[in-house]
Amino acid sequence: MTKKFCLQYSCPEPGRCCYRLLNSAGQEIPWAGQFLDAQSLRGLSDCSLRIYAYDLLNFVRWWFRCPKRSLAHLNQSSLLNYVRYQLSAKPQPSPRTINHRLTVLNCLHRFLFGRPISGRSPDVRSFYRTRSSIGYGKTRAAMAGLRLKQPRRVVVPLTSQ
């Protein structure tokens, strides 16, 4: 039996997000509601909250295809599988959309568990050099998370006519 998930818009209450993620029984998914409420308290616009909610909806539809999986088991290799799932979808989302969804998942995991997603996959290792946050001192190695390459925008200058 496939589970159906949907997004519901409700009248906004103070301190609560107006979007709710519902399962097939019409019950709210509690962790998604808590995360969206926290984003609402941060002062994100309704448009941003809607994008976050749709990103979570896409993830939930993929994550709960396999029964009895906990979000605590989310790791880099499962994120790779999630990216593969998105790339196989028709129509295929843009790299920018996929990167935004991955960012939302990283924020969600940090919100729920207080730590970043663990278990770096050897396929995803990308190192870069960074300085301290105040801008001086020795550089140190850092490891980037999973990101898709986005095409650069080309600026076309206006012609005078």
Q: pLDDT tens digits for 6-29?
A: 999 988 788 899 999 999 899 999
Reply yes or no on whether the pLDDT at 45 is more than 80. yes
The whole-chain average pLDDT of the chain stands at 85
**pLDDT greater at residue 69 or residue 21:** 21
Higher pLDDT, 121 or 149: 149
Report yes or no: 55 and 100 within 8 Å, Cβ to Cβ: yes
Strand duo 126-130 + 19-22: pairing: unpaired
Q: Looking at residue 136, what is its pLDDT?
A: 66
Percentage above 90 pLDDT, the chain: 55
List of residues 6+ apart from 83 with CB closer than 8 A: 98, 102, 146, 148
Interior/surface letters 88-119, b for 16+ CB within 10 angstroms, e for the rest: eeeeeeebebbbebbebbbbbbeeeeeeebee
Identity of the residue numbered 79? L
pLDDT of residue 120: 56
Backbone angles phi, psi at 130, to 5 degrees: -140, 155
pLDDT, one tens digit per residue, over 102-148 is: 999 999 999 999 988 876 544 544 555 666 666 666 666 554 567 77
With beta carbons less than 8 A apart as the criterion, state whether 18 and 12 touch: yes
What is d(CA 39, CA 131) in angstroms, rounded to the nearest whole number?
29
Show the DSSP H helices in the chain as ranges.
30-41, 46-63, 76-87, 95-113
